[in-house]
């Protein structure tokens, strides 16, 4: 061996303890470059703008070009956004199959992998698989039910209504620690579908659950009179006298309602707007010679969810106004706020871990270790990023109207729809926008 080679070998082994710290340097540099600091909602904004402008084909192309959605950890988001766009194109077959795939993936991701949780402690929560919020998991089935109702496929919509009930039971029985343990709109919708299939007792059960939720102040949505009247009509049809008496006591105007057993109904359901985005709130401060950074997601703007109510025009003269039945922005904001302490606790744990690493690096004292510590301190500021991922194309609100009419022929005008129908006795005709 030459003298130069011998000298290099001795130098390498002398530096070996110091080189132990290089993986930390490379880890943070790699993660910083790999994930970047731009939030998901910011990268998705151009796609959302195209969708809002009703340029659905362009929105789909924009979605497919988003590199952030090609990562496995964002697979669920990709499926949710794609299914929503496909539903509007409309390509119902592909949309439904994509929603179903999203539902299966959300179930699979219920338990996060240990490896990716470790990565989230070292870097931030965006390194983990996005497994979906509880309200997003329910909305998957709501969107599927509405998709089937667009094509008057009541039977398939009923299957989704049952899945809504099953999924809500899982949430109630499971780990959920937020106020979103039930979904009033999903229950109302489920009741309407059950009633349309003449499963009146099941409809009454879901109407009652929905009514209890709205009456308790469910995310600041006023109890829809259409729900009260739907329940009242079925209670009368099933001769539930004690329930009728209790309902009239709370809503005396019901005594003035006149109805015929053969009445038909026209129900409009409209989804409106896009749910408010999660944004990051960050701050850093010094503790001794350490820099501690915190970052957490928040939802600030919830004002856009309650858009102006629309009316259905029947035979050119009958105007029935919609009522708000779901405010997704408030659900998203309130449930996120209720998770704030857990998110801060996790961020604090990550800060403690980084502080421990920094202490060991400084204790080593070598040039390489000090350089690694400097990188660690800087990266803790730039890589401490809140997880702002969410289903950006999820509607911000839902509206319903219900008009009782005699069986017969009608012309209906609602938003962009103009249809002629012939209603049978007791039939419920759905118009979904």
Q: What is the pLDDT of residue 365?
A: 67
List the domain range (segments joined by +) for residue 64.
39-121
pTM of the entire predicted model: 0.82
Q: What is the pLDDT of residue 112?
A: 57
DSSP 51-74: HHTT-HHHHHHHHHT-GGGGSGGG
Does pLDDT of 428 surpass 70?
yes
Residue 206 lies in a domain: no
Q: What is the pLDDT of residue 369?
A: 61
Q: What is the pLDDT of residue 18?
A: 44
Q: Which of 111-125, 157-171, 327-341, 352-366 shows the lowest per-residue confidence on average (mean pLDDT)?
A: 111-125
Q: What is the pLDDT of residue 346?
A: 63
Residue 19 lies in a domain: no
Residue 32 lies in a domain: no
DSSP 240-289: -HHHHHHHHHH-GGGGG----TT-EEEEEEEEES-PPPPEEEEEEEEETT
Report d(CA 73, CA 128) in Å as an integer: 6
Residue 185 lies in a domain: no
What integer is the mean pLDDT of 57-77?
94
Helix (H, G, I), strand (E, B) or coil at 358: helix
Q: What are phi and psi of 237, to 5 degrees?
A: -65, -30
Residue 113 lies in a domain: yes
106-121: buried (b, 16+ CB within 10 Å) or exposed (e) per residue? beebeeeeeeeeebbb
Tokens 């703007």, residue located: 301
Q: What is the pLDDT of residue 339?
A: 77
What integer is the mean pLDDT of 97-126?
71
Q: What are phi and psi of 89, to 5 degrees?
A: -60, -45
Q: What is the band of 173 on the pLDDT scale with cuts at 50, 70, 90? A: confident
Residue 357 lies in a domain: no
Report d(CA 433, CA 269) in Å as an integer: 6
Report d(CA 237, CA 231) in Å as an integer: 10
Residue 85 lies in a domain: yes
Residue 305 lies in a domain: no
Report d(CA 339, CA 426) in Å as an integer: 45
Tokens 């102006």, residue located: 308
Does pLDDT of 352 surpass 90?
no
Q: How many domains does the chain have?
A: 1
């Amino acid at each position: 061996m030459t003298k130069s080679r011998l000298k290099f070998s001795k130098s390498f082994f002398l530096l070996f303890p110091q080189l132990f710290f290089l993986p930390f340097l490379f880890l943070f540099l790699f993660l910083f470059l790999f994930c970047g600091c731009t939030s998901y909602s910011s990268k998705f904004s151009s796609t959302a703008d195209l969708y809002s402008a009703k340029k659905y084909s362009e929105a789909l192309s924009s979605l497919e070009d988003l590199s952030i959605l090609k990562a496995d950890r964002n697979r669920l988001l990709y499926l949710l956004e794609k299914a929503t766009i496909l539903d509007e194109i409309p390509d119902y077959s592909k949309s439904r199959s994509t929603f179903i795939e999203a539902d299966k993936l959300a179930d699979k991701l219920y338990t996060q992998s240990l490896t990716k949780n470790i990565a989230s402690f070292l870097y931030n929560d965006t390194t983990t698989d996005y497994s979906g919020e509880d309200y997003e998991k329910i909305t998957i089935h709501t969107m599927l039910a509405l998709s089937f109702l667009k094509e008057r496929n009541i039977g398939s919509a009923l299957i989704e209504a049952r899945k809504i009930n099953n999924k809500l039971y899982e949430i109630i029985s499971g780990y959920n620690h937020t106020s979103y343990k039930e979904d009033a709109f999903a229950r109302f919708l489920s009741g309407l579908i059950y009633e349309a299939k003449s499963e009146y007792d099941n409809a009454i059960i879901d109407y009652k659950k929905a009514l209890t939720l709205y009456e308790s102040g469910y995310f600041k949505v006023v109890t829809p009179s259409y729900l009260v009247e739907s329940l009242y009509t079925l209670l009368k049809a099933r001769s539930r006298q004690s329930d009728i008496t209790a309902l009239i006591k709370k809503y005396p105007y019901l005594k003035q309602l006149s109805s015929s057993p053969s009445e038909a109904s026209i129900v409009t359901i409209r989804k409106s707007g896009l749910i408010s985005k999660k944004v990051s709130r960050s701050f850093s401060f010094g503790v001794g010679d350490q820099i501690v950074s915190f970052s957490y997601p928040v939802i600030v703007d919830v004002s856009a969810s309650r858009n102006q109510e629309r009316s259905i025009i029947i035979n050119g003269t009958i105007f029935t106004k919609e009522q708000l039945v779901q405010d997704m922005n408030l659900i998203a904001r309130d449930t996120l706020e209720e998770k704030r302490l857990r998110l801060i606790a996790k961020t604090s744990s990550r800060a403690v871990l980084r502080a421990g690493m920094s202490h060991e690096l400084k204790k080593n004292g070598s040039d390489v270790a000090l350089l690694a510590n400097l990188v660690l301190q800087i990266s803790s500021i730039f890589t401490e990023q809140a997880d702002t991922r969410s289903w950006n194309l999820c509607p911000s609100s839902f509206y319903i109207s219900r008009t009782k009419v005699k069986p017969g022929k009608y012309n209906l005008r609602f938003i962009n729809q103009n249809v002629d129908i012939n209603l049978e006795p007791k039939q419920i005709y759905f118009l979904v926008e």
